[in-house]
């Protein structure tokens, strides 16, 4: 089913992402923006050189703000690259020497890169000996996976991202013949408001889910109904205390250098 809806701009994405975070347990297990302090505690006295690659200016600004507010980051340096991963790769390739890293993470971002296998290959090549690459991605057991695979016909065509889950990443890693371990983390997303007509929170959440601006206001009736019914299927969500909880399970994949 086609729709006339538009993709989210980066500002709209930031807003929709915030609402998603406020209603999910996504960040309960994900050490985003806090890993420098964890590393310092584990390796006291060691200098940590961090490079951040992030194309969205608002996300870069929010991260800088957190760094400015954090105490005890004297031994941590930050280099900011407001770039996509492929733009960063291009910059690295133009230099004669390639910097190596002990730890690289790609947390919930592979959906948006242009070429997933090559992005993984490139960042894996940036690891130093004994380095680790951490990929966090939606699990194949998540409701998103069912939505993307079984109920894709209920989604608008505007979402330009890849419908990728842990099993797709594992297939790529197996093809590359690299060693990795996978850890599963349960996560929930309360999507109840998505079913309340005219609810602004529900509007933002469904926009995040579909990668579409004002999905509820612009999608044809049959597409909306199809998506709302799909979201209620037991393979996607469960009911707790009258709330509708989407399965947002995550996989953490640790790749060896």
Tell me whether residue 239 is exposed, middle or buried, using C-beta atoms within 10 angstroms of its C-beta: 0 to 12, 13 to 18, 19 or more. exposed
Q: Alpha-carbon distance 174 to 212, whole Å?
A: 33
165 and 144 Cβ atoms separated by less than 8 Å: yes
- Between 83 and 232, whose beta carbon lies closer to ligand SAM? 83
Task: Decide whether 13 or 151 has the Cβ nearer to ligand SAM.
Answer: 13
Cβ closest to ligand SAM, residue 32 vs residue 228: 32
Beta bridge partners of 103: 132
Cβ proximity to ligand SAM, 26 vs 223, nearer residue: 26
Q: Which is nearer to ligand SAM, 108 or 167 (CB)?
A: 108
CB of 88 to ligand SAM, least distance (A): 8
Task: Spell out the residues 6+ positions from residue 182 whose beta carbon is closer than 8 angstroms to its own.
Answer: 166, 170, 251, 252, 253, 254
User: Helix 116-125 and helix 85-94: axis angle, to 10°?
Assistant: 50
**Minimum CB distance to ligand SAM, residue 225 (Å):** 27
Closest approach of ligand SAM to the CB of residue 155, in Å: 17
The minimum distance between CB 30 and ligand SAM, in angstroms, equals: 5
Query: Closest separation between CB of residue 54 and ligand SAM, Å?
Result: 5
d(CA 156, CA 227): 9
Closest CB 18 distance from ligand SAM, rounded Å: 10
Nearer to ligand SAM among residue 54 and residue 193 (C-beta):
54
Distance CA 70, CA 72 (A): 7
Smallest gap, in angstroms, from Cβ of residue 26 to ligand SAM? 7
Handedness of CA 172, 174, 177, 181 (dihedral sign): positive
Note the residues at the interface with ligand SAM (CB under 6 A): 17, 30, 32, 53-56, 59, 84-85, 107-109, 112-113
Distance between terminal CA atoms of the chain?
43
> 80 pairs with which residues across the strands?
52
By C-beta, is 50 or 108 nearer to ligand SAM? 108
């Amino acid at each position: 089913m086609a729709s006339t809806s538009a993709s989210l701009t980066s500002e709209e994405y930031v807003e929709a992402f915030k609402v998603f975070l406020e209603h999910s347990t996504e960040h309960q297990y994900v050490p985003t923006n806090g890993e420098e302090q964890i590393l310092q505690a584990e390796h006291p006295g060691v200098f940590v050189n961090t490079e951040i690659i992030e194309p969205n200016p608002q996300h870069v600004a929010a991260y800088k703000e957190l760094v400015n507010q954090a105490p005890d980051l004297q031994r941590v340096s930050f280099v900011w690259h407001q770039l996509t991963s492929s733009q960063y790769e291009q910059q690295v390739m133009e230099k004669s020497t390639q910097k190596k890293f002990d730890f690289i993470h790609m947390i919930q971002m592979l959906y948006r890169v242009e070429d997933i296998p090559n992005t993984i290959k490139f960042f894996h090549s940036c690891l130093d000996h004994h380095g680790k690459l951490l990929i966090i991605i939606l699990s194949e057991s998540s409701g998103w996976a069912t939505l993307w695979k079984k109920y894709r016909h209920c989604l608008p065509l505007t979402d330009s991202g890849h419908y990728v889950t842990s099993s797709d990443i594992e297939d790529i890693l197996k093809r590359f013949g690299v060693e990795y371990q996978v850890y599963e983390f349960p996560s929930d997303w309360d999507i109840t408001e998505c079913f309340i007509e005219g609810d602004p929170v529900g509007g933002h959440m469904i926009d995040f889910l579909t990668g579409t601006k004002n999905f509820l206001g612009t999608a044809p009736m049959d597409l909306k109904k199809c998506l709302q019914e799909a979201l209620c299927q037991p393979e996607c969500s469960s009911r707790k205390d009258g709330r509708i909880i989407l399965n947002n399970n995550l996989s953490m994949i640790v790749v060896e250098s």
